[in-house]
Amino acid sequence: MAVTGDVWQGWRVPPTPAGQLAVPNLHRAARIEDAVHQLVERRLRRTGWRMNIVAYTGYGRPGWVRVMCRVLLGRPDTRQRGRLEKVRGWRSFTTLPAKHVTVHIEAGGVRHEARADRSGFVDTLVEADLPPGWGTVRLSVPDAEPVDAPVRILDPDVKFGILSDIDDTVMVTALPRPLLAAWNTFVLDEHARAAVPGMAVLYERLVTAHPGAPVFYLSTGAWNVAPTLTRFLSRHLYPAGPLLLTDWGPTADRWFRSGMEHKRSTLARLAKEFPDVRWLLVGDDGQHDQEIYREFAAAHPENVAGVAIRRLSPTQSVLAGSLPAPAGRPSSGPVGQKWLSAPDGAGLWMLLRDAGLV
């Protein structure tokens, strides 16, 4: 998080006073993790390891932009300008963060500073007068090469967007089953992951039918796998868009993060940041997407154009840890909402077309 003050739709969050760093009363697991990181960091720095930046895709509107990145330690001969290396899953979770370092952000010709958190993450809003469309902001830290982070700036005239789950919606993972999830995440090569049939074509047709519409990918997955997910989406021809992931490991107040709470808070944030945008929410019936989308649609009906649920097969439902839905039973949502369900992208496209959403 930044300690220099965030900017949100014209107002600024007061910065932390100079010389003071707000440190929460950390959970025991987080304190243990920090102690281990500190010990390992001292040894690695003595062997010549230095900082590098992994840039994530940000977003915003003319006047502000949300910038996201992570600062890690790496070998001098492997530091690359934010290049997304191909690594087997488990290696993504053995990174060492550079804690509480200052990151310089250059956006629209204006320089800002933000401070990484205890996991090396920076997630901040900065003032930036960038034109609608795709752009970049430059990120740098001392003794490291700067990197450019892509950002998607929404045109104020855009009133439609797509917000998609990832696991079992665009990529087959059967995530909730513990052993299979561990295999998919830590062992399986990314090229062995399968795309859900027809979903990439569906999204491409949607953005063609709604020029300028953004595609956001919301998942309970950790930021560690962001490079892998980015490559997967690009390789299978999904439209480019920001990933909205979450942290890995102990948090400040608990052993494990709450994936459902991450999705709820992210949806609420997007509704506040883009009050005029109506989202097509895309998910699956194997996890908690229906419950979360139903809550959001009831609380923010003006921000929901419709809900499209990818219906898992009986076998996929069992692997995903849920019961198969009765055949032919339609999904239900809040009164007045367009709530559609089909087993693949082609089926969802026909339902969305018939519902007048394309």
Comparing C-alpha atoms, which of 224, 223, 84, 54 is closest to residue 144?
A: 54
Provide mean pLDDT across the span 276-296.
93
Q: Tally the C-alpha atoms within 13 A of residue 293's C-alpha that lie toward its C-beta.
A: 28
| Overall average pLDDT of the 233-246 stretch | 95
- Categorize the per-residue pLDDT at 178 as very low, low, confident or very high, splitting at 50, 70 and 90: low
What was the pLDDT predicted at 354?
Answer: 93
**Which residues have a Cβ under 8 Å from the Cβ of 83 and sit 6 or more positions away?**
none
Q: 317-355: per-residue pLDDT in tens?
A: 545 555 444 443 444 455 456 899 999 999 999 999 999
Quote the tokens at residue 322: 């849920």
Q: What 3-state class would DSSP assign to 234?
A: helix
Distance between CA atoms of 102 and 75, rounded to whole angstroms? 20
Q: Could you tell me the strand order of the sheet in which 160-164 lies? A: 243-246, 215-222, 160-164, 278-284, 304-310, 339-342
What does the domain layout of the chain look like in residue ranges? 7-153, 160-354
How do the residues of the chain divide into helix, strand and coil, expressed in percent and rounded to 5? 30, 30, 40
**Are 230 and 84 a contacting pair, CB within 8 Å?**
yes
At 57-116, the pLDDT tens digits run 999 999 999 999 999 887 665 444 444 455 444 445 456 788 889 999 999 999 999 999
> For position 5, what pLDDT does the model report?
41
Question: What was the pLDDT predicted at 222?
Answer: 83
Residues in the chain: 358
pLDDT interval class at 19 (50, 70, 90): very low
What single string gives the DSSP state of each residue in 82-129? S------GGGGGS-EE-TT-EEEEEETTEEEEEE--TTSEEEEEEEE-
pTM greater than 0.85 (yes/no): no
Whether the per-residue pLDDT at 147 is higher than 90: the answer is yes
- pLDDT tens digits, residue range 181-205? 555 555 556 666 789 999 999 999 9
- Dump pLDDT digits (tens) for 36-57: 556 555 565 556 567 889 999 9
Q: Are 115 and 122 in contact (CB under 8 A)?
A: yes
CB 224, CB 92: distance < 8 Å = yes
Confidence bin at 262 (pLDDT 50/70/90): very high
Question: Residue range 298-311: average pLDDT?
Answer: 95
The C-alpha angle with vertex 109 and arms to 103 and 114, in degrees rounded to 5, equals: 20
Residue 50: closest CA among 74, 80, 69 = 74
Q: What percent of the chain has pLDDT over 70?
A: 65
- C-alpha to C-alpha distances, 255 to 25, 34, 145, 252, 349, nearest whole angstrom: 14, 13, 34, 8, 41
Residue 76 CA, chain-centre distance (Å), reads 28
pLDDT exceeds 80 at position 35? no
- For residue 18, the model assigns a pLDDT of 36
- Give the model's confidence band at 223: pLDDT under 50 very low, under 70 low, under 90 confident, else very high: confident
Domain 160-354 bears CATH identifier 3.40.50.1000: yes
What pLDDT score was predicted for residue 230? 92
Is residue 234 scored above 50 in pLDDT?
yes
